[in-house]
Structure 1
Amino acid sequence: MNNHLMRDMDDMEWYPTANSRTPVAFDPAWRVMDVGSGHNPHPRADVIVERYLEDVGTPAGRSGRAVVRPAGAQLVIADGTALPFGDKAFDFIVCSHVAEHVEEIDGFCRELNRVGQRGFIETPGKWGEYLRHPRYHRWFVSLRDGALCFDPAPVDHPLGALGKLFYSIYFYRGRQLASADVYAFAHGAPRPLHYGLVIISRLLHRAWQALTPLTHTRLLWQGEFRWRVRGGKR
């Protein structure tokens, strides 16, 4: 992953972006849209797009955390496959950990290309999903020859009991356990096992960030980006 599209431009402002905290440069004059940001919109967002009002209009967002919006940002309730904006209306689009959820992925990608001049897309990495796969992710996303590739994701953990174990430890006592297929200990274990699980979970989180090229799929694009959908829908 590199930032070659932006690196040589003057007067840019750099922001850690998406779950991977990837440094991305923004021109202060750009109009920026963050689509599907939930509780954690990008600080440079001028427009926030959410599909459902309850995702952002209640004290807690989809993750269970309090909703935070940048000061002065406009909230628009819209479906990502039919965005209510003109062609190339935004200088930059942030799309962080949204595409893996979208059923009509062709329509979603077409709309991002239509309304945006450039942007940053991040999803969980395909190989990371083999270890940490929630059943509500519809797609395994990878980057091949500069194009995003969407493969239908299974409902259950691809690695069976091993994947279930990893998910249970990684998200030990976390909000992500809600409605997830995990082992009972994930919701809280007796001492001293509890302390061991807390330490292992923290180490796994650090390793996940250190292995960002494997655990995240990232695309910085300009003009338009390419994508492929393989194997139909889940």
Structure 2
Amino acid sequence: MWILPLVGYLGSVVGFCFLTLAIASGLYYLSELVEEHTVIAKRFLSRLIYSIMGLQLLLCLVDRFPFFLTLLGIFSHFIYLGNMRRFPFVKLTDPLFLASCVLVLLNHYLWFKHFSRHQERAYQNMSSYYDTPDNIPSFTEIASYFGLCVWLVPFALFVSLSASDNVLPTIGSEPSSVGGGDERKSKRSQGMAKALVDNLLGAIGQASAMAGWKRSDDRL
């Protein structure tokens, strides 16, 4: 077969493009939703952080998750909670924001290493190839833990927070007209996820213009 593998590759590329567009559209919609309901979003995120901290503590006490990794996860969510003091605005050079970025990656690496070692030890203790190791979390359980306890709050903060470089007006600047005031208001309420999507679309538009793929109205 020669054509069918090519069709499979083409379908994979098209599916990846649609998936990327769906994620970008979802981020854009969530960012606009948070902009319209900042008070509700702050209350929801705060309760979500406390709930995940309680869930991690429960996993440590009942399922005997490692104490120090659990302590690191609770401390990380405590740092995430510090970003809520000026919600939805955040300074990209804020030590709490930078520490949050580092802790996300550190938690992901350490928990991935923990589950990998746990599975490796379980398979090494098998007496036969056909045996099924006990007390090994399934892929669904591991993925759910990463999604809820490691990545959910940082992802929600990324969607909700707005970069202060975009939200604070220049000192001494006054809107020249009503349109200028509306433009400044739109910049003030723009979130990081929304700004990222806009920048990506702008970069794609510039690349297409450099490649000569201009619209018909631009050529006139």
Q: TM-score, structure 2 length as denominator?
A: 0.28
- Which has a greater percent of helix? 2
Specify which structure has the bigger relative contact order, considering alpha-carbon pairs within 8 angstroms and separated by 6 or more residues. Answer: 2
| Structure with greater proportional strand content | 1
